[in-house]
Amino acid sequence: MASQPPPSAVSRARFVIVMVAFFASWWVVRPIWHALDLQGPVERALPMLIPALATVVFVRTMTAISPRNPALRRYGKGLLACLLSYMALLVLAHVAEGALPAASPLMIVAAIAPVLPMLACLGVIGRYFVEEPDEYQRMLAVRASLVGTGVLLAVAMVWEAFQQAGLAEAPHSGLAFVVWCAGFGIGRVVQWRPA
């Protein structure tokens, strides 16, 4: 009789709660900055500890789904490195915004810098698709990415309709990645299959 792999230590409910907390943590930083009128580099960095902590918890929970899967562990480490780098570079970009002239080459570099870890995230996700040894888990991840793409397209089309009707303003383009990631998470939860 073949031995069964140990059941996942992560329940679907726990994963959903951690995922929702992870996405929600990103929305509290800007209101904290504005409400407390935080200006200095250290002051502006402190609220970023909220999504940083949520990111660590999220990645640990995600990799606990299949603790013996090296591809998932590498994916988690890569994702963690990208997201924490993004947060650090975002704080530096905000600091540079007040300290550098608007059109200076350094300001251009500071403005682009936070985008680079997000682009690296796409590479990390693609590498996971290639390295996942379990074909079934790979198929579930690819399906989840298709759900993310569908959610992004649906939100973009609805938002465009609202914009054409004068009911909404042009969205912040950085939200596209967030919407795709939320759709990817929804896709993973809907077809939940712990390894």
- Distance (Å, rounded) from C-alpha 25 to C-alpha 153? 24
pLDDT of residue 8: 56
pLDDT of residue 3: 43
In Å, the largest CA–CA distance within the chain is: 70
Q: Which parts of the chain sit beneath pLDDT 50?
A: 1-7
pLDDT of residue 47: 83
SS3 168: coil
pLDDT of residue 2: 43
Q: What is the pLDDT of residues 150-180, one digit of tens each?
A: 999 999 999 999 999 989 888 777 788 888 9
pLDDT of residue 31: 83
pLDDT of residue 113: 93
pLDDT of residue 141: 92
pLDDT of residue 1: 42
Residue 59's CB is within 10 A of a number of other CB atoms, namely 22
Sign of the torsion formed by the C-alpha atoms of 16, 18, 24 and 26: negative
Residues near 96 by Cβ (< 8 Å), separated by ≥ 6? Answer: 106, 107, 110, 111
Predicted TM-score (pTM) of this structure: 0.78
pLDDT of residue 161: 93
- Distance (Å, rounded) from C-alpha 20 to C-alpha 56? 14
Q: Would you say 96 and 106 are in contact if contact means Cβ atoms under 8 Å apart?
A: yes
pLDDT of residue 195: 52
SS3 109: helix
